[in-house]
């Protein structure tokens, strides 16, 4: 049922399931369909012709026209198990964005706070997208993809299922990601390779000069020395830098392997 608080505006052509909970100051545009098991929190807006089901939309989200959230996953093994999409506060989904709900494996697709999905981008079932992530036009995240906080994926990027994109990563337009990308790196190409560190991004996030230098040195040891990967990881695993230790843990837990420079 709907909440008891005042509703800012629901267009008369919108169709809302009786199970939906709509908080105060929510705007719902023409021909919107709000299906089963939906919560839309205060201050959010839903553009015309959008379709939402099995989803929780955070506060002050902006969902533009013709967006699809919470529809069943494009997974042949899915058999209508209970699953949802969770969208964090202050996230924007532009026109024709499509985000599928989870499968029985995790039961959740999670998009963080302050994210920006540009037009026609897609997050498949069971994805985990961190906070402050930007997804470019027509970029596609396969099932079970993880994207770390503050990552920027440019337009026309394809990310293979089960890949992990680290924190603060910058992915160039048109890249195809088939392996994991370490924190704070940049990558490009088909198939993508590392192209250095996202120094501009680190500075914008106000990381200190010492923190950035530690990451630079770790990058050199991992990819520019003649050490085997396991030996390089052993050299770095006791680093005083928490950022370097995060990179080491990221690589050790990678199941698809990691991108490397050319």
Beta bridge partners of 108: 84
Closest by CA to 175, choosing from 203, 204, 199, 151, is 151
Distances in Å between the Cα of 219 and the Cα atoms of 37, 86, 248 are 46, 34, 11
Helices (H) and strands (E) in the chain, counts: 4, 28
How far apart are alpha carbons 67 and 50 in whole angstroms?
5
Q: For residue 120, is it left (φ>0), alpha (ψ between -120 and 50) or beta?
A: left
How far apart are alpha carbons 225 and 235 in whole angstroms?
12
The catalytic residues are 125-126, 143
Map residue 86 onto helix, strand or coil.
strand
Beta strand pairing status for 152-153 and 134-135?
parallel
């Amino acid at each position: 049922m709907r909440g008891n608080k005042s509703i800012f505006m629901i267009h008369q052509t919108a169709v809302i399931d009786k199970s939906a909970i709509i908080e105060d100051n929510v705007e719902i545009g023409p021909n919107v369909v709000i299906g089963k098991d939906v919560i839309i929190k205060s201050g959010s807006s839903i553009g015309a012709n959008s379709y939402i089901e099995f989803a929780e939309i955070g506060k002050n989200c902006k969902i533009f026209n013709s967006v699809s959230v919470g529809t069943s996953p494009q997974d042949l093994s899915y058999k209508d198990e209970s699953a949802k999409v969770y969208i964090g506060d202050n996230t924007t989904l532009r026109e024709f964005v499509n985000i599928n709900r989870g499968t029985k494996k995790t039961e959740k697709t999670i998009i963080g706070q302050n994210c920006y999905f540009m037009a026609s981008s897609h997050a498949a079932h069971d994805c985990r997208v961190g906070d402050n992530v930007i997804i470019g036009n027509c970029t596609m995240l396969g099932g079970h993809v993880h994207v770390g906080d503050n990552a920027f994926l440019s337009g026309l990027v394809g990310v293979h299922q089960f890949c992990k994109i680290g924190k603060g990563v910058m992915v160039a337009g048109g890249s195809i990601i088939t392996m994991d990308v370490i924190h704070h790196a940049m990558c490009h190409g088909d198939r993508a390779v590392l192209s250095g560190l996202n120094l501009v991004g680190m500075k914008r996030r106000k990381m200190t000069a010492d923190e950035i230098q530690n990451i630079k040195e770790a990058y050199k040891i991992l990819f520019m020395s003649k050490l085997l990967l396991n030996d390089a990881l052993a050299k770095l695993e006791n680093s005083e830098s928490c950022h370097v230790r995060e990179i080491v843990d990221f690589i050790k837990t990678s199941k698809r392997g990691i991108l490397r420079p050319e």
